[in-house]
């Protein structure tokens, strides 16, 4: 294995295996059989790990456009080690309306004036407290609500 502190880049799902965690029931450990390792001084190499190397921290691109987060999201789900993100977090961060609401209502930061028409209840956007600068108009059905939209 590379020395402690080295970083390993996993470029393919075939390089990683999820196995039941020995230390955390219901969670998974991620074992890497191959990866690009980065060492002090800028040296990198494609390495095979025999036995497979256990990941002690996982981060990556969780493919927010993909509802399941792609293969990185699947590998990072329910791990026994810390992760630098998740598919639900990536979805929340990419949702401009939710991000503005959180910044305005929770962090009391100014946001651009926003008028948003939302279909249904949209449970991730609480009705209260109101967010300064963000106006939400909830529509049950877009059909027949043209007057409401024009009024707003």
Strand 114-119 versus strand 28-38 pairing type: unpaired
Report helix, strand or coil for 105: helix
Q: What pLDDT does residue 138 have?
A: 79
For residue 51, cis peptide bond before it (omega within 30 degrees of 0) = yes
Higher per-residue pLDDT: 151 or 8:
8
**Is pTM, for the whole model, over 0.85?**
no
Q: What is the pLDDT of residues 106-122, one digit of tens each?
A: 888 998 998 888 877 67
Higher per-residue pLDDT: 27 or 40:
27
Higher per-residue pLDDT: 90 or 18:
18
Q: What pLDDT does residue 54 have?
A: 92
Report helix, strand or coil for 91: helix
C-alpha dihedral, 139 to 144 to 146 to 149, nearest 10°: -10
Q: What pLDDT does residue 35 have?
A: 92
Q: Please state, in angstroms and rounded to a whole number, the distance separating the CA atoms of residues 73 and 75.
A: 6
Mean pLDDT throughout 26-55?
Answer: 90
**Which residues, including other chains, have CB under 8 Å from residue 41's CB and lie 6 or more apart?**
none
Q: Tell me: pLDDT of 68 over 60.
A: no
């Amino acid at each position: 294995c590379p020395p402690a502190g080295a970083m390993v880049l996993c470029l393919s799902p075939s390089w990683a295996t999820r196995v039941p965690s020995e230390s955390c029931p219901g969670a998974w450990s991620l074992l890497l059989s191959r990866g690009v390792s980065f060492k002090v001084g800028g040296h990198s190499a494609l390495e095979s790990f025999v036995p497979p190397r256990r990941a002690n921290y996982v981060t990556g691109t969780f493919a927010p456009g993909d509802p399941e987060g792609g293969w990185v999201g699947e590998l990072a789900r329910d791990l026994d080690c810390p992760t630098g993100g998740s598919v639900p977090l990536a979805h929340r961060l990419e949702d401009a309306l939710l991000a503005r609401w959180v910044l305005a209502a929770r962090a009391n930061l100014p946001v651009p004036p926003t008028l948003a028409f939302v279909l249904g209840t949209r449970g991730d956007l609480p009705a209260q407290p109101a967010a300064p600068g963000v106006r939400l108009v909830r529509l049950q059905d877009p059909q027949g609500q043209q007057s409401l939209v024009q009024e707003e």
